[in-house]
Structure 1
């Protein structure tokens, strides 16, 4: 009787374990989950397009062969190849981007909440780095052929420190890495200047100037 009670008590745990394993076995059987942009998006990503509607074009993306327009305030352009524009990546845990930087161009401090980043310099000279959660700074000047990794969720940046254009490609450990740019989070919204001043110790006049440049209000 005691043994039977133990079995009965452990059944919910066993059920959860087998359900978990079953869900993984189903995921392994499914070859792919091409994003269906017309269907609702859930926490796990885009819904799957019916296989009968999938074509080879869903698995091909040609946007990374063209240089981006760097005529902007940061003198840089980023061309993403993530699941939001490349449906065949959905659910596969990988994605790419192309970054073009004019001389003096910068990719400001930003984070990717959903992925680590691996950047390969193809042309030019780039100073790149990140800040750990212990506030240790790791940065280095990268030359053509150099690779640097930026751990998931950590603030990082890239600057073209050379006299010619720079180009790097970055890969991510997620089809939807996410993006939050620190400058935009602070100065491209309607968060009151007083709150930003209190939380960053910046002068209100400086904050208002940056809001004017980046499009923020209040």
Structure 2
């Protein structure tokens, strides 16, 4: 009888410990659903390691494109990124953002992203298109319009109105990768004669584009 009672007490203690452990973990997640990236540590498939939560301030949850350096594209367009590298509080959340400023006639060349993307027009007018082997899906966007760009689908955006145009984008990745067709084709060291043959492009044009985009060969 005593041994049975001791066994029951042991089981009860184990159950209480398990419940306490589970409750503590759940409440910890509830109390803190953020993880500021420690960018000095290696990135991992699940994101960067967290900086101590007591070092996080209210300002860490805010990010502004104002005063930040943009990335110029060779098409009269300036891109401002808000990935985990610029905005460490995005760590582990699976999202990021960008802002594009397009001069009149400016555009983003054909490219694809390794994340799903939504673009919203803030100012001006855009002609945009999704490309597939059999069909293109083209739209004209004005302020307030939103368009979705599925992951890996080649597409372009062009300022088709008068004056400057502005759009913002949201990505389903904290650090999306952008693959531009012109870089894939011409910013490499494949000999021009070979690239001309395998791309169905004129050799003179291949050399011209290689020179423009710092390719060799």
TM-score (norm 2): 0.79
Alignment of 1:120-159 (within 5 A): 120-132=120-132, 134-159=133-158
Look up the match of 1:190: 189
Look up the match of 1:17: none
Look up the match of 2:62: 60
Moved more, 50-59 or 158-167: 50-59
Identify if the C-alpha distance between structure 1 residues 61 and 69 changes in structure 2 by more than 3 Å, giving closer, same or farther: closer
- Please give the alpha-carbon distance, in whole angstroms, between the structure 2 residues aligned to 1:79 and 1:32: 24
**1:139 counterpart SS class:** strand
Identify if the C-alpha distance between structure 1 residues 55 and 193 changes in structure 2 by more than 3 Å, giving closer, same or farther: farther
Question: What is the total number of aligned residue pairs between the two structures?
Answer: 191
Q: CA RMSD in A?
A: 2.4
- Please give the alpha-carbon distance, in whole angstroms, between the structure 2 residues aligned to 1:191 and 1:32: 45
- Please give the alpha-carbon distance, in whole angstroms, between the structure 2 residues aligned to 1:155 and 1:75: 20
Q: What residue ranges of structure 1 are gaps of 5+ in the alignment? A: 1-21
Q: What residue ranges of structure 2 are gaps of 5+ in the alignment? A: 1-21
Identify if the C-alpha distance between structure 1 residues 98 and 62 changes in structure 2 by more than 3 Å, giving closer, same or farther: same
Look up the match of 1:171: 170
The answer to whether the Cα contact below 8 Å between 1:69 and 1:76 also exists between their aligned partners in 2 is no
Look up the match of 2:112: 111
Identify if the C-alpha distance between structure 1 residues 66 and 148 changes in structure 2 by more than 3 Å, giving closer, same or farther: farther
Look up the match of 1:74: 75
TM-score (norm 1): 0.79
Look up the match of 1:85: 86
The alpha carbon displacement at 1:109 in A equals 0.7
